[in-house]
Structure 1
Amino acid sequence: MRALIQRVTAASVTVSAQKIAEIEHGLLILVCAMAGDTETEAEKLALRISKLRIFKDEAGKMNRAVGDIGGACLVVSQFTLAADTSRGNRPGFSSAAPPETGNHLYQHFAGALRALGLPVQTGEFGADMAVDLRNDGPVTIWMDTADRA
């Protein structure tokens, strides 16, 4: 699974002019299930992100995880993280998991974060979403479970 993690002071998702999810201080996590991914990858990614120390401590150093600061997670499905731009100007997305599998793993990932004790809001899988965020830092981290295989 792939994730793009952004430290935010606020983030929200709107679908069809209706705000469906919103967090304050925490993480906006754009996530994509790749072909061949399983629930194991979703759980490992959730655990890694929950422990990611990218929030400032009293000394101003990035030394705290989202749970340490009482933050929340906004998880948004983003199949375009699977973009292959190696050929031409039009990205290909064939390495993304099929929609049914992608949705299942997206939901499982969000559930795994909740099971770790984190407050989680989600976007709507497959919807045309407007994502608003206020970057904190900015701090943006890329993770791919294939990098640790």
Structure 2
Amino acid sequence: MSDNWLEKVNWAADGLVAAIAQDAGTGSVLMMAWMNREAFKLTVQTGEATYWSRSRKRLWHKGEESGNIQRVQEVRLDCDGDVVLLKVEQDGGIACHTGRASCFFSRLEQDKWVEIDPVLKAPDEIYQKKI
């Protein structure tokens, strides 16, 4: 497989592209993360989501600590080429490091954020080290 498909991506100045993970079955948006070329290429090659961690400054295979791997079913690129959409099967049903199904668990109600989705599993039960 040639890498020409990577040239269609409109990489930001820092070499990253936004990546949205969406549940392939329900359509729910699970999370947003960043990918560099290597992460995107690994994701396509392995069929499992790999991202670039800006805080850790390294590749991050989703589920490497939690076991909640994202199995990629489909990859799409938006019309501007600057956002990747991954349609995934989320192992364990937990995408967020807070132990929720989705990272988008807070809803703006009036002038405050309200947590509307439950914690499915406490983070200290998911991770060997506390976050």
Normalised to the residue count of structure 2, the TM-score between the two structures is 0.31
Query: Which structure is higher in helix share?
Result: 1
Name which structure has the greater RCO, CA cutoff 8 Å, separation 6+: 1
